Each structure stands twice: as structure tokens, then as C-alpha cells.
Amino acid sequence: DFAARRGIAFVDLTPSLAEAAQAGLAHGRLVYWRDDTHWNAAGIDVAAAAIAASLPR
């Protein structure tokens, strides 16, 4: 992909956000604002956790 071919480190947040969004729908806890596609506080928490998990220990 684009970043990998150029040696740019990145974290693909799509799987984490998609999983959280799917689980959240079942429990009424959305990761996006109801009226647009930006992350809400729950989405930011998911993104932060995914990024933190990708960092070297």
C-alpha cells in the first residue's frame, strides 16, 4: 500500500473502529457522531488504544 511502499509507519484503524462500531450498535454505544462520520469520544478511545497497542514496548 501507499505508506508501506514508502517506508512510512502507520496504524490502520479501520479494523478496530469497524469492530467497535459493530459492537457498539448492539449496545447503543456509537463510535461516530449520529449526524456525521467523525469520531466521538468513544471512537477516539478506540483509536488511541489501537495506536498505543502498536507502539514498541
* Predicted confidence (pLDDT) per residue in 1-57, tens digit: 899 899 999 999 999 999 999 999 888 899 999 999 899 999 999 999 999 999 998
* Tens of pLDDT, residues 40-49: 999 999 999 9
Q: Which residues contact 46 (CB under 8 A, 6 or more apart)?
A: 13, 16, 17, 20, 31, 39
Distance of CA 45 to the CA centre of its chain: 8
pTM beyond 0.85: the answer is: no
Question: Please, which residues bridge with residue 32 across strands?
Answer: 39
Domains of the chain: total: 1
pLDDT at 57 (0 to 100): 87
Question: In 1-57, at which residue ranges do the beta strands (DSSP E only) sit?
Answer: none
Show the domain range for 19: 2-54
11: closest CA among 43, 45, 57, 54?
54
